[in-house]
Amino acid sequence: MTRSLFTCSVAALAVCALTSAGSADVRLPEIFSNHMLLQRGLEAPVWGWADAGEEVSVQFAGQTKVARADANGKWISRLTSLEASSEGRSLVVKGKNTITLSDVLVGDVWICSGQSNMEWATRSVINAQDEIKAADFPNIRLFDVPGHTTAATAQSDVPGGNWQRCNPDSVANFSAVGYFFGRQFHRETGVPVGLLGTNWGGTRIEPWIPPAGFRLVPDLKGIADQVDKFDPTTDAGKATWHAHLKEVEAWVAKTRSSLTAGNGVSNRPTTPGFANAGQPTAIYNSMVHGLAPYGVRGALWYQGESNGNEGVSYFHKMQALINGWRQVWGQGEFPLYFYFVQLADFQQPNDNPAGGDGWARIREAQRQSLTIPHTGMAVITDIGAANDIHPRNKQDVGHRLALWALRDVAKKDIVPSGPLFKSIKVEGPAIRVYFEHTASGLIVGKRKNGLKPTPEVKGGTLKRFAIAGEDKQWHWADAKIDGDTVVVSSKEVQKPVAVRYGFTMNPEDANLYNKEGLPASPFRSDDW
């Protein structure tokens, strides 16, 4: 959480770009190192730089691929589709010099990105000492993009890092959510797993989005135009970038002051303008672009707190992020799965049946993001804390993300989610609510206690359902489970038209689950 900040000024762009055209030696990006893990099932890209016109060969697993550097010194080869393998083999790159990378595995690679709850290290979770002591998984490999960096233009490499075997030393400072996700997937499939950590606490979504992403969403045309017009070589562009750097430096200083005062990361200062419309794409340029087109199976995303005042606009930005990354990676028919975390319950609950306060609308936007193909969402409104924006239970977050991957990638016949709102049907004075992922059936659940499974409350009463008529006045409702549906009614509403569930900043007593112990996502059937 206190990793050093590095920023690239306009004057240093040539150095930060790391294009190395004209270099006599063949060179690889930082993402290629000993102990790396290549993506199975696709033509895995291997690329780098050499002298213009230089012939470069790549040898791995009995294959030899030859490429020639272009006029700018860039070359790329693609290995024929590889099968998963726990055998540590050598990858050899030859040009005028030879590079040999050892202990290279093949499996599934996942990007772990977002703000502080994704950055949150394993050393700070529930039962951290036991978790770290048991983290001996040589076939899980970890790569963490170091530092917190921004750049005015897209960089051809990330600012350092190297692959490590997962062990107590390497996992302690790695993303806990990423680790627990990878651990479960590896345990249940036996497939080696690579985890690419690139995250920054307190950041908004905009700086993580590539220019292509903004252009893909008509509702974000204003930001797309701003990105397209930004030119760091002009006086105006230099002024904008220098102002951005000063803003970042000031924010970092405030954050350090907050930590020194003992306030903790929960009270870090508000994210500065660089992370919203003031400087979109800045983090993507430095901490993501240089990873592409490294073969990946998908991405894990835990972010939204810094965009917590938004609603449907966050859905538009999720479209830009997901489809923008997919376009940059360009994996064609090999989909980049994108699994994200819905925000946890936080701050003090209130008794207003209308809800709509705090993070209610951004959670709705996150749920709406499931309409984007090849996505999944972990619902965690049952593990948060009113006084802490960083839930310590990252094990269940990783577990719930892993369920989607086990279904989609491992093709296991499992339920990936708790109940997700599907539709309603008005039945006289009541409304029947239909769900997806009811699995073995719906239950009233007791709020989770630490890492223990969610127990069923026999004969319990559903809470946090509200109902409204055409007057749009909301009232708390009686809600009863009827098979795979919930029937909602209120004596105060004779002709209901809409239902809401858990639609508030802290729906701490929301208690609809499926029998698999997974909570239902908050939702609303209206668009008021």
Which amino acid type is present at position 65? K
* Pairing outcome for strands 98-114 and 37-39: parallel
Contact status, residue 300 vs residue 110, Cβ threshold 8 Å? yes
Express as a percent the part of the chain with pLDDT over 90: 86
β-strand partners of 60: 63
**Phi then psi dihedrals of residue 56, to 5 deg:** -130, 135
User: What confidence score (pLDDT) does residue 20 get?
Assistant: 39
DSSP 491-507: TTBSSEEEEEES-SS--
User: What confidence score (pLDDT) does residue 257 get?
Assistant: 57
Reference 186, options 411, 417, 405, 413; nearest CA is: 405
Q: Mean pLDDT throughout 67-93?
A: 97
**pLDDT tens-digit map of 374-414:** 999 999 999 999 999 999 999 999 999 999 999 999 999 99
Residue 240 binned pLDDT confidence (cut-offs 50, 70, 90): confident
Using CA atoms, how far residue 129 sits from 134, 135, 172, 384, in Å, is 9, 10, 9, 21
How far apart CA 112 and CA 288 sit, in angstroms, is: 11
**pLDDT tens-digit map of 130-180:** 999 999 999 999 999 998 999 999 999 999 999 999 999 999 999 999 999
Helix axis angle, 360-368 to 312-329, nearest 10° = 40
User: What confidence score (pLDDT) does residue 243 get?
Assistant: 86
Please give the model's pTM, rounded to 2 decimal places: 0.92
**pLDDT tens-digit map of 332-383:** 989 999 999 999 999 999 999 999 999 999 999 999 999 999 999 999 999 9
Q: State yes or no: pLDDT of 528 exceeds 90.
A: yes
User: What confidence score (pLDDT) does residue 255 get?
Assistant: 63
How far apart CA 340 and CA 331 sit, in angstroms, is: 20
How far apart CA 68 and CA 494 sit, in angstroms, is: 74
Q: Mean pLDDT throughout 307-324?
A: 97
Residue 13 binned pLDDT confidence (cut-offs 50, 70, 90): very low
Question: Mean pLDDT score of the chain, rounded to an integer?
Answer: 91
Q: Mean pLDDT throughout 107-111?
A: 98
Structural domains in the chain, sorted by start: 1-19+105-417 (3.40.50.1110), 420-524 (no CATH)
Dihedral of alpha carbons 438, 442, 448, 452, sign: negative
* Pairing outcome for strands 98-114 and 193-199: parallel
Dihedral of alpha carbons 498, 501, 503, 509, sign: positive
How far apart CA 339 and CA 254 sit, in angstroms, is: 32
| DSSP 8-state code for residue 525 | S
Contact status, residue 503 vs residue 514, Cβ threshold 8 Å? no
Q: State yes or no: pLDDT of 467 exceeds 50.
A: yes
| Residue 172 falls in which region: left (phi positive, over 0), alpha (psi -120 to 50) or beta | alpha
Dihedral of alpha carbons 34, 403, 522, 513, sign: negative
How far apart CA 151 and CA 274 sit, in angstroms, is: 11
Q: Which of 106-115, 153-162, 270-279 has the lowest mean pLDDT?
A: 270-279
